[in-house]
Structure 1
Amino acid sequence: MTTESQNTSTALPLTSGRWTFDPHHSSVGFTVRHLGISKVRGRFNDLAAELVVGETLEDSSITATVALASIDTGNADRDAHVRAADLLDVEKRPTMSFRSTRISGAGEEWSMAGELTIGEITRPITFDVEFGGVVDVPVDGSRHAGFDATGEFRRSDFGLDFAPGFLGDVIKVDLEVQFVEPK
């Protein structure tokens, strides 16, 4: 998103409209400290997102939803335990969702503020966003835009304060997403 300033009324170099999420070239990962001495990394395998590009940044938005039951840390027993009622409780909290409230930046460096909701609790969050660019895909002629976003939140802010001392409070999130230009 090359622009001259960080003004939210700046025109965007992306085609206006609803960009289609490309789930085959997108992922959401996370990192949490375990016992304070190492990190556990994982991902969520069920992610949906929508990018609406307006004429200006203030007319543009991103939403995303993650199915918490799709957690994958590479250990099936651990994943089953994390899904259970004493931890994530995916029956009570089936999704984690994000809605942007402000996008700003220039060149390759952007910031996206928004609201993160887990269960019934919503809190503000800000992601640092790197715009990877737009390319034409030779196979089908479609145009794809790519973005990397990183942010963090405290799980205790969402009532996820289980296992203190075993799991760190800060969850680091890393998204790699692609969207396909509207036709």
Structure 2
Amino acid sequence: MADNNSSLTDSPTATATSTAALPIAPGDWALDPLHSAVNFTIRHLGIAKVRGRFSEVDAALYVGETPADVRVTATISLASIDTGNADRDAHTRSADLLDVERRPTMVFRSTGVSGSDEDWSLVGELTIGDVTRPVTLDVEFGGVVDVPMDGSRHAGFEATGEIRRSDFGLDFGGGMLGDVVKIQLDMEFVEPREPQGQAG
């Protein structure tokens, strides 16, 4: 899991943030992996779309008192790619394409957040292998609900954006695969509980 203890202001790429009130409580929110997904779409031959997902993701959300204190990190296993075709997935993992032996993960680290109400913008850095590039995600806040079964409180987010494969040295399949990869993340996080043994 990527380190999420560094402050946004420590990064040279940190961006200005909104002063809007945050819609969720401060603390370390844990990912609910059963209700989260990392999906992508890429063009094939310029005429059709191939859709897929990465099934193994570890993410964390730290919420401070202001948007300037928010930190988001995510580590995704590239070997967990699933496009619905086992042969295609095996080839994609190989040295011909993703080369997951050399590039086992892609890691996102936020550097800034801005917005209000339901619409937010998350700026960060995406690292694939030894290449790091800036990425901006449009984030829709889905709200917060209490789960009656265990009393936990969950928050939902949908994040969308796109990257260019060539920016990360993944320019294989020219003419067959598009350069632009569209990303959709549906993420659900669980609110931190009150520390045990402390009175209110």
* TM-score in terms of structure 2 length: 0.87
Mapped contact 2:143–2:156 kept (Cα < 8 A): yes
Partner of 1:171: 181
Partner of 1:68: 78
Q: Residue 178 of structure 2: SS of its match in structure 1?
A: coil
Q: Distance in 2 between matches of 1:169 and 1:11?
A: 38
Q: Distance in 1 between matches of 2:23 and 2:137?
A: 21
**Deviation at residue 142 of structure 1 after TM alignment:** 0.3
Q: Distance in 2 between matches of 1:32 and 1:88?
A: 14
Q: Deviations over 1:72-124 (max 9, x none)?
A: 00000000000000100000000011011111111111110100110000000
* TM-score in terms of structure 1 length: 0.95
Q: Measured at CA, do residues 7 and 163 of structure 1 come closer, stay the same or move farther in structure 2, by a change above 3 Å? A: closer
Partner of 2:157: 147
**Deviation at residue 7 of structure 1 after TM alignment:** 5.4
Q: Percent identity?
A: 68
Partner of 1:88: 98
Letter in 1 for 2:44: H
Is it true that 1:10 corresponds to 2:10 in the alignment? Answer: no
| Structure 1: gaps of 5 or more residues | 1-5
**Deviation at residue 10 of structure 1 after TM alignment:** 3.4
Letter in 2 for 1:43: R
Partner of 2:168: 158
Letter in 1 for 2:57: L
Q: Distance in 1 between matches of 2:128 and 2:152?
A: 34
Structure 1: which 4+ aligned runs deviate by more than 4 Å?
A: none
Task: Choose from 27, 34, 41 the match for 1:31.
Answer: 41
Mapped contact 2:155–2:191 kept (Cα < 8 A): yes
